[in-house]
Amino acid sequence: MIVMKFGGTSVESAAALERVTGIVKSRLHRKPVVVVSAMGKTTNRLLKIANLAVSGQREEALRELVALRDFHLRESGMERTVEEHFQELTELVKGLAVLGELTPRSIDAISSFGERLSSLIVTNFFNHHGLNAVHVDARKLIVTDRRHTQAVPLFDVTYAKLAAVIPPLAEHRVVVMGGFIGATEDGITTTLGRGGSDFTASIAGAGIGAEEIQIWTDVDGMLTADPTVCPDAHRVKVISFTEAAELAYFGAKVLHPATVLPAIDRNIPVLILNSRRPQVEGTRILSEGVASTNAVKSIACKSKVMVLNIRSTRMFMAHGFMRRIFEIFDRYETSVDMVATSEVSVSLTVDETGRLEGILGELREFSEVWVDENQAIICMVGENIRRTPGVAARIFNALGSINVRMVSQGASALNLGFVVAGEDLTAAVQALHREFFTELDPAVFDA
């Protein structure tokens, strides 16, 4: 068995569904289990509707809901199924308008409809085009905790359900399920966080012991840099799990950061493929990478980052300074990407600003804090970094007059990250790409 996950752009229209059907047909002998995202930008539209409803714009929310319903009717032809789901959605939106409040539980309830609908539509499309397909509600199999909008799977229970249900169905039928969604043990709908359909695919693959997990998207695979920043980026043919995880965490949008975790646990290869160009081999992610003559495998970047500079002379030679800082971030459930420290000061980066005001208030109780906005993280990733002398010198030489604000090397020694001003991001990435990817190892990169 293999797991094939198709993202929103891969199932955004009837024409896209025809491409997906052809791709799945070509792999029937491998007993595919198909995981799908919501069609196009459906999740964004659902959340917009919810926000309109709770902000007093009930009629505008209902008009947007009708437009979304018409889109699904036009692209699917499944009038009864679409109408039933949108009747339920309409009642939910009306209820939100009355309450005037959007809770995490209600966010999950409304945002789940995208995958619930798309998985039924894809199943129907497959059956109408000669595939023997069966729909499975992911909420019956992906069991999670109660942390709405970012639920964590209960892996033992989930794996047991997947192993019991999926393999018998997949013997003679194409199993289709929605990504991103799950449910608590008492059946309350949850979601795995934005981009969670990749995570669903990986969980499903681990649970059924798949031989391969395929992530079908709208790019040719993982690249040596973000193509919107560096148009001459090259495809990476093969990469290790640890390298892929670092790239995903530091901004490579092809892969959800958590995707690789179940795959690593079960040693299942992950492929990144392009549904619009299925003939391209994509990127294969393995437990161990292939040896490469290039020091760096790829350059990841994150824009719109804030640097928090925390200084307290009162904490000079005192223990507990770092503990107090990170206890605050823990209480506010805010992740830190990079950290640089000295005896009395700490600089760290965050890209989640929703709880920043509270964090700053508590930090200022015992330290001075100032914030540098509109910064960018650039992260050089590659297992050869730790084995290649002079990488740092090459980086700084390539950057020339671009000022580096902060430097950090991960404990794994396979990434070297630094912060530059946001306006310098494009120039910095392009300069680094010229330095490290002018010559390419053909075993690892596609020129």
Label the pairing between strands 212-217 and 2-6. Answer: parallel
DSSP code at position 316: T
Q: In the β-sheet with 133-135, what is the strand arrangement from edge to edge?
A: 133-135, 174-178, 32-36, 2-6, 212-217, 270-274, 283-286, 238-240
Q: CA 302 to CA 191: how far, in whole Å?
A: 24
DSSP code at position 439: S
Residue 393: predicted pLDDT: 93
C-alpha to C-alpha distances, 301 to 62, 137, 146, 253, 274, nearest whole angstrom = 38, 36, 32, 10, 22
Query: Where do runs of H (alpha helix) occur along 338-388?
Result: 356-363
338's tokens: 């990079």
56's tokens: 């007093």
Residue 329: predicted pLDDT: 94
Q: CA 25 to CA 432: how far, in whole Å?
A: 42
Residues 6+ apart with CB under 8 A from 222: 235, 236, 239, 244, 247, 252, 254, 255, 272, 283, 285, 298
Q: How many CB atoms lie within 10 A of CB 112?
A: 23
Residue 318: predicted pLDDT: 59
Amino acid identity of 351?
Answer: D
Q: CA 314 to CA 366: how far, in whole Å?
A: 8
Q: CA 314 to CA 319: how far, in whole Å?
A: 11
Domain boundaries, the chain: 2-218, 298-446
Q: Name the CATH superfamily for 2-218.
A: Acetylglutamate kinase-like (3.40.1160.10)
Residues of the chain with pLDDT under 50: 317
Q: CA 401 to CA 403: how far, in whole Å?
A: 6
Residue 312: predicted pLDDT: 81
Rounded to two decimals, the pTM is: 0.87
C-alpha dihedral sign at 30, 34, 40, 44: negative
CATH of domain 298-446: 3.30.2130.10
Given this chain, do its domains 2-218 and 298-446 carry the same CATH topology?
no
Question: Are 414 and 423 contacting, i.e. CB atoms less than 8 angstroms apart?
Answer: no
Nearest in space to 92 (alpha carbons), one of 36, 146, 49:
49
33's tokens: 């289990």
